[in-house]
Homo-oligomer: A and B are copies of this chain.
Amino acid sequence: MLTLEFHFDFGSPNAYLAHRVIPSIEARLGARFDYVPVLLGGVFKATNNRSPAEAFRDIRNKREFAELETRRFLARHGITGFRRNPFFPVNTLLIMRGAVAARHAGCFERYVEVMFHSMWSDPKKLDEPGIVQAVLHAGGLDAPGLLALTQSADVKQELIRNTEVSVARGTFGSPTFFVGDEMFFGKDQLRDVEEEFIRQRDRPA
């Protein structure tokens, strides 16, 4: 069975933009992405990498070009409702643990939708537990249950393990995709992800 993975952290705007495009790719491929929660801060620590926001800050023209690329991506895919998060950078440890917790609790898809939306469309300061609780509640999720689960050793350990395994497979930033063992990086490689999935699916056994 050919695997198709999206390694994500809610703190990455490019992960959000990929998330918005994934449904149309899934429809074309007739396959689903496995969403794998990883802690981007942990990825950066393990690889000595930094966020683009930080790395590009002092480079003339580069940030402007990244913004141009974002506008082109929005236009190409007809994405509306994307907003910069004014509280950026937001520490995502709690809400990424929450993603693992939501998987255990059987409400992963809804949780992912609510969190991406509350980070990059109706942006909130999602490193404050009270705000996370309110967002979960408004999204129809079991806020107290999920927040309690984020404190379990199993959930904490699973997020660490996801992150370590992802880095061991080649991850250095977000968004990262895997088609089988072939890795792709960045929202602009989603076209390559789609082509590679077709290539691997259709090749002779």
Contacts and interface: CB of A to CB of B under 8 A. Distances in A.
Interface residues of A, number: 24
B48 A170 contact: no
Q: How many copies of this chain does one complex carry?
A: 2
A59 interface: yes
A173 B49 CA distance: 20
A163 to B, nearest CB: 13
A64 B188 contact: no
Interface string A164-188: 0001001111000000000101001
Nearest to A72: B192
Interface string A25-62: 00000000000000000000011110000010011111
Interface of A: 46-49, 55, 58-62, 64-65, 68, 72, 167, 170-173, 183, 185, 188, 191-192
